[in-house]
Amino acid sequence: MDVRVRYAPSPTGLQHIGGIRTALFNYFFARANGGKFILRVEDTDRERYSDESLEDLYSTLEWLGIKWDEGPVVGGPYGPYIQSERFDLYREYAQRLVDEGKAYYCFCTPERLEEVRKQQAESKSEYQGYDRHCAHLSDSEIKEYLRQGIKPVIRFRVPTEGKTTFHDILMGDITRRNRDISPDPIILKSDGFPTYHLANVVDDHLMKITHIMRAQEWIPSGPLHVLLYQAFGWDVPQYCHLPMVMGKDGQKLSKRHGSTAVRDFRAKGYLPEAIMNYVTLVGWSLDGSTEFFSKEDLEKCFTMEGIHKAPAVFDYKKLDWFNGQYIRQADNSRLADLVAPYLQEAGYVSSPLTDDDRKLIDNLVPAVKERMKVLSDVVPLTAFLFEDKPVEDKSIYIAKGSDENNTAEALEKGTEILLSGLKNGENEEAIEEKLAALSQQLGIKVNGVFQPIRVAITNSTVSLPLFDSIRLLGLEETEKRLVRANKLFKEN
Ligand code: GLU
Ligand code: ZN
C-alpha cells in the first residue's frame, strides 16, 4: 500500500506546538514509508478564517523545513487542496446522500431550533440535539418550502439503532451507540458551505489518504466519520489519534504554560532543528533513550509503533536544553547571521550592518555561543560591550561567603594581577591561578575574587567567560572599569 497522509489544519490561529507535532509525525511517517505527505487547508469556517493564519502556516512549515508533496502552492493530482476552492464538490456529495435517502433537507428556522433546545433543557430530556423534525418530509412539503424560497441545510441521517465501531491503531476499537452520536448533524449549511465532517471525509477519500494521524480531541468525531464513509460506500482509512500535549501540571498545553505559537519560539531565538527534534520526542520515542535526531534521521527511523498512548508532557526547560545544544553545534557564521537581528533590534549595531559590525559579531559569536540558550540571549550577554551601565550597588559585587572588606581587597589585588598579567602577555591559566591563590590568601572562595572582577567589567553577574569579555571589550576599557569599581569600594 502506498502511504498517503495529510496535515489538515484550519487557518483560524497561529501554528502551535501541538499542531506542528501532528504535522511532523505525519511528515516523518510519510518519509519513512516512502509515502506522500499532503497539506490540506481546512478553511470551511469562514468566520474564524484569517489570512495571517494561512501565512503563518506556510512560513512555519518552511522554517521547519517541512516540504509537502501535494498541497497548496505545489499542487498535485487531487487538488485543489484548499477546501474553500472545493465547495462545488461537497455540494455534489451531499446531494448524492440526499438522493439516496441517507441525508435530508432541513428547513427549520433558527428560532424553531432555539425553541427545541430550550424545551429540552427545561424538561431535562435525555434526548439532546436536533429533534429530526424534517427527517421525513414528503416531496410535496419539500417542494413547497423550496417554492417559498427557504434555503435548506442538509442533515446526515444517523441511525437510531445499533453501534458504530472504529479502529484506532493506538487505542484499539472504539465503539459508540449510534443513538449517542449527535442526531443528524448538518453536513451542508444553507449557504452551500460544507461543515468540517463532510469536507474532511470527502477529501480524505478523494485524496486517497491511507492513515489519519490527528489529535486525540478528534476521537469523538470518529464514529460519525465512519458512518459517513459507510454511507458513501467508501473504505475507512486507518486512524491513529495522537496523545494530547500537556503542560507539566498535567493540563492541556495552553498559553497559561507559556508560549505555544511556533512563531513566538522562533522570535525568541529557538533553532528549527531544536524545535523539530524536541517536539518529535513529545509523545514518540525510538528506543526510549536516543534523544538526538536530525531531520534526516527521523525521515528514516520514524515509526508509528513509537508513538505513546499516554498524554505527553511538553517541557520548556528541556526544549531550552536542546536549543542550547544545537546552538553549540551550529556553525559560527550561521550564528552570526542569526544573532545579528537581535543586536540590531537592541540598537547595538546598525542595520544594514557595517563591516565593523560584522567583524564585531564574528568576534563575539564564539563566546556567546557557549552561554546562549536562545539566540535572544545575545543581547543581555553582550550589553556591556554596547552600553556602559556600571553597577553601583556594592552588594552585587560581593560573592556568597565573602564580605565588603574582602571584596574590596579582592578587587584591588585582583585588578593588579589581572592588568599586569595581561600587559605582560601571561597566559590565561597562569592569571587564573594567581587569582585563585589570592582567594586562598583572603580565605574566601574563588568566586569571591572572580565575581567582583566580572561585575566590574561586564556590569552584570551573568556574562561571558572572563577572558572573552576582556578580549571583546579591549584592555583600555577593561582597565577603566576596574579602576572605577575599585573607587566605588574605597569611597567611605
Ligand atoms: N481541520 C481539523 C483541525 O484543524 C483537522 C482534523 C483532522 O485532522 O481530521 O484540526
Ligand atoms: Zn428541520
149 burial via Cβ count (<10 Å: 0-12, 13-18, 19+): exposed
Considering the domain architecture, whether residues 398 and 382 belong to the same structural domain is answered as no
Instruction: Say which ligand is closest to the CA of 10.
Output: 1
Instruction: Say which ligand is closest to the CA of 48.
Output: 1
Which residue blocks in 233-331 are alpha helix, DSSP H? 262-268, 272-281, 295-301, 316-329
Residue 214 lies in a domain: yes
Strand (E) or helix (H) holding 165 = strand 163-168
Considering the domain architecture, whether residues 237 and 252 belong to the same structural domain is answered as no
- Distances in Å between the alpha carbon of 409 and those of 231, 397, 418? 87, 12, 14
Considering the domain architecture, whether residues 119 and 215 belong to the same structural domain is answered as yes
Chain Cα centroid distance, residue 277: 12
Considering the domain architecture, whether residues 90 and 213 belong to the same structural domain is answered as yes
Contact between 156 and 129 under an 8 Å Cβ cutoff? The reply is no
Shortest CA distance to 381 belongs to which of 440, 458, 488, 302? Answer: 458
Contact between 486 and 411 under an 8 Å Cβ cutoff? The reply is yes
Considering the domain architecture, whether residues 173 and 145 belong to the same structural domain is answered as yes
Among 342, 366, 386, give the residue marking a domain's end.
Answer: 386
171's grid cell? 487505542
Q: What pLDDT score was predicted for residue 128?
A: 81
Considering the domain architecture, whether residues 108 and 168 belong to the same structural domain is answered as yes
First-to-last CA distance in the chain?
84
Pocket test for ligand 1, best of 6, 42, 86, 228 (most atoms within 8 A of CB): 42
Considering the domain architecture, whether residues 175 and 308 belong to the same structural domain is answered as no
- Distances in Å between the alpha carbon of 165 and those of 128, 198, 332? 22, 19, 55
Residue 287 lies in a domain: yes
Considering the domain architecture, whether residues 111 and 164 belong to the same structural domain is answered as yes
Instruction: Say which ligand is closest to the CA of 217.
Output: 1
- Render pLDDT for 132-176 as a digit per residue (tens, 0 to 9): 999 999 999 999 999 999 999 999 999 999 999 999 999 999 999
Q: What gap in Å lies between CA 159 and CA 163, rounded to an integer?
A: 9
Structural domain total, the chain: 4
Considering the domain architecture, whether residues 337 and 474 belong to the same structural domain is answered as no
Question: Ligand 1 centroid vs 334 CA: distance in angstroms?
Answer: 36
Residue 354 lies in a domain: yes
Considering the domain architecture, whether residues 257 and 348 belong to the same structural domain is answered as no
Residue 79 lies in a domain: no
Could you list the pLDDT tens digit for every one of the 492 residues in the chain? 799 999 999 999 999 999 999 999 999 999 999 999 999 999 999 899 999 999 999 999 999 999 999 999 999 999 999 999 999 999 999 999 999 999 999 999 999 999 999 998 888 877 788 999 999 999 999 999 999 999 999 999 999 999 999 999 999 999 999 999 999 999 999 999 999 999 999 999 999 999 999 999 999 999 999 999 999 999 999 999 999 999 999 999 999 999 999 999 999 999 999 999 999 999 999 999 999 999 999 999 999 999 999 999 999 999 999 999 999 999 999 999 999 999 999 999 999 999 999 999 999 999 999 999 999 999 999 999 999 999 999 999 999 999 999 999 999 999 999 999 999 999 999 999 999 999 999 999 999 999 999 999 999 998 899 999 999 999 999 999 999 999 999 986
Give the domain extent around 230.
86-242
Which atom of ligand 1 is found nearest the CA of 42?
Answer: 1
Residue 77 lies in a domain: no
Contact between 64 and 276 under an 8 Å Cβ cutoff? The reply is yes
Contact between 482 and 410 under an 8 Å Cβ cutoff? The reply is no
Among 370, 386, 402, give the residue marking a domain's end.
Answer: 386
Contact between 5 and 35 under an 8 Å Cβ cutoff? The reply is yes
SS3 443: coil
Contact between 107 and 145 under an 8 Å Cβ cutoff? The reply is yes
Question: Ligand 1 centroid vs 304 CA: distance in angstroms?
Answer: 19
Pocket test for ligand 1, best of 43, 166, 214 (most atoms within 8 A of CB): 214
Pocket test for ligand 1, best of 218, 228, 245 (most atoms within 8 A of CB): 218
The CATH number of the domain where 116 resides is what?
3.40.50.620
Q: What gap in Å lies between CA 43 and CA 348, rounded to an integer?
A: 43
The CATH number of the domain where 455 resides is what?
1.10.10.350
Q: What pLDDT score was predicted for residue 463?
A: 87
Q: Give pairs for 406-409: CB < 8 Å, separation 24+.
A: 406/442, 406/443, 406/444, 406/448, 407/448, 407/452, 407/489, 408/486, 408/489, 408/490, 409/442
Identify the active-site residue in 255, 359, 423, 490.
Answer: 255
Shortest CA distance to 298 belongs to which of 29, 12, 103, 40? Answer: 29
Q: What gap in Å lies between CA 17 and CA 278, rounded to an integer?
A: 10
Ligand 1 lining (C-beta closer than 6 Å): 8-10, 42, 200, 214, 218
Q: Which residue lies with its CA nearest to atom 3 of ligand 1?
A: 9
Residue 140 lies in a domain: yes
Question: Ligand 2 centroid vs 31 CA: distance in angstroms?
Answer: 46
Among 199, 223, 242, give the residue marking a domain's end.
Answer: 242
296's grid cell? 534526516
Residue 405 lies in a domain: yes
434 classed as catalytic:
no
Considering the domain architecture, whether residues 355 and 371 belong to the same structural domain is answered as yes
The CATH number of the domain where 339 resides is what?
1.10.8.70
Residue 179 lies in a domain: yes
Considering the domain architecture, whether residues 215 and 346 belong to the same structural domain is answered as no
Q: Which residue lies with its CA nearest to atom 5 of ligand 1?
A: 8
